Amino acid sequence: MAQNIRFAPSPTGFLHEGHLLSALYVWAVANIGGYKVHLRIEDHDQSRARPEYIQAIYDDLRWFGFEWESQSIQSERSCAYEKALQLLEKNKLTYACDCSRKSLLLENPCNSEGEVIYQGRCLNKNLEASPFTSIRLKVPTKTVYWSDLRLGAFCESPAAQCGDFTLKDRQAQWTYQFAVCVDDIEENIGMVVRGEDLRSSTARQILLMKLLGRNEPPHYFHHPLLYDPSSLLKLSKRQQSESLRAQKEKGKTAEELLGRTCFSRQLIRKEEPISLKSAILLFSKQIERYF
């Protein structure tokens, strides 16, 4: 059975040019490897996700002409997450934690990305899970060897990178790390293409997928990001990057935006409109040597 590749935006704002870049990489890799595209709406963070952003993801992707074979929404998959959590609980791989955000920051060191490296304060407390606790994974002290198709080989230890990480938070929300692993298993994802800002999550996801029963992890391709030329920060919703639909409202066509993205990757010599089909082919050509 053909495996899937996923495009997995979070509906916490409107899509911007960084998403368009990511989508072009996803559809190009699907084209190279014969994967089917699965669109996953990653709305696990219910405090930030909004229905209008979900609808906008469908509309914006269709406006460019992107097509996908299947789709899912994380907020409709609670049963799957609950079941996966029960499996980990049965194997004594989880524990409840009542550390506050403040104590987490005060009592634990941080890694180079500013993430807490949890030192296990609640590991042996045997707390009863309650609405005031989060659920953490007992991360085995194992080294994960994995390789990124573009960036090469990595040898990393999630226990040292982040320690026992959270599966469900104190607001009873499933975390990104947990939901993404359950989904990548159940949605038959054989290839993960995403921005290189998520590269450091890969080892812990491979480890967690193994604990959930998937021994053969997906292939990974982390693509370079787009940076805002004035601030040199990566384009993101938090940085209030101009959305694709705002540009559409100002009169830009889909082909003009695709042309700009191709130009930013030096795939064309001057910024000019280009069709989606040609853009995907140009991206495929640029990266096919990695496959």
Q: Which value, in Å, is the radius of gyration of the alpha carbons in the chain? A: 20
Length in residues, the chain = 291
C-beta of 244: minimal distance to ligand GLU in Å? 14
User: Residue 168 or residue 222: which is nearer to ligand GLU going by CB?
Assistant: 222
User: Residue 9 or residue 33: which is nearer to ligand GLU going by CB?
Assistant: 9
In order of 14, 117, 174, 213, the CA distances from 105 in angstroms are 31, 9, 21, 32
User: Residue 6 or residue 97: which is nearer to ligand GLU going by CB?
Assistant: 6
In order of 18, 175, 272, the CA distances from 45 in angstroms are 20, 7, 38
CA torsion, points 3, 195, 283, 231, in degrees to nearest 10? 170
User: Residue 198 or residue 281: which is nearer to ligand GLU going by CB?
Assistant: 198
Helix (H) or strand (E) holding 222: strand 219-223
C-beta of 41: minimal distance to ligand GLU in Å? 9
User: Residue 94 or residue 205: which is nearer to ligand GLU going by CB?
Assistant: 205
Runs of H (alpha helix) within 91-171: 101-107, 158-161
User: Residue 154 or residue 263: which is nearer to ligand GLU going by CB?
Assistant: 154
φ, ψ of residue 269 in degrees (nearest 5):
-80, -35
C-beta of 42: minimal distance to ligand GLU in Å? 4
Give the integer Cα–Cα distance in Å for 33 and 31.
6
Non-local (6+) Cβ contacts of 271 within 8 A are 259, 260, 263
C-beta of 70: minimal distance to ligand GLU in Å? 16
C-beta of 7: minimal distance to ligand GLU in Å? 8
Query: What is the binding site for ligand GLU (CB under 6 A)?
Result: 8-10, 42, 180, 194, 198
C-beta of 115: minimal distance to ligand GLU in Å? 15
Residue whose C-beta lies closest to ligand GLU: 194
